[in-house]
């Protein structure tokens, strides 16, 4: 059984009705997930800076800052509170349950970059 966050369901509902939705478009993962691991975030000292927030090689992909909308490609990003390793593990996990992954995919449509 797949668990889906009620916030994501509401976002999809509002977006399909032509409304803005709960979150603005093009949020980066740290803004959507509220993990506070971006540079200057509240949990940086405790958990370290998220690699997606500082990876400039993917800046702009899917409309994000650094790898902020491409985090499923970055080793060391958090999923369910634990760091994920390889792209294969990330995409398997993100593709099956991550609301942010599905939000980006829906927002980008045909321009989505895996």
Q: Counting Cβ atoms within 10 Å, is residue 45 exposed (0-12), middle (13-18) or buried (19+)?
A: exposed
| DSSP codes joined into one string, 94-108 | HHHH-HHHHHHHHHH
27-68 pLDDT per residue, tens: 999 999 999 999 999 999 998 999 999 999 999 999 999 999
How far is C-alpha 14 from the geometric centre of its chain's CA atoms? 19
Proportion of the chain above pLDDT 90, given as a percent: 48
The tens digit of pLDDT for each residue in 78-114 reads 776 777 666 546 666 676 668 899 999 999 999 999 8
Separation in Å, CA 60 to CA 14, 24, 39, 84: 26, 17, 18, 22
């Amino acid at each position: 059984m797949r668990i889906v966050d009620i916030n994501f369901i509401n976002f999809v509902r509002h977006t399909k009705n032509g409304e803005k939705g709960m979150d603005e478009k093009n949020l980066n993962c740290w803004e959507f997930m509220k993990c506070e691991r971006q540079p200057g975030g509240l949990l940086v000292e405790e958990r370290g800076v998220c690699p997606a927030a500082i990876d400039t090689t993917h800046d702009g992909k899917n409309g994000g800052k650094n790898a902020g909308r491409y985090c499923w490609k970055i080793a060391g990003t958090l999923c369910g509170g634990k760091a994920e390793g390889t792209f294969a593990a990330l995409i398997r996990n993100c593709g099956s349950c991550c609301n942010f992954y599905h939000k980006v995919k829906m927002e980008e449509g045909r321009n989505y970059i895996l």
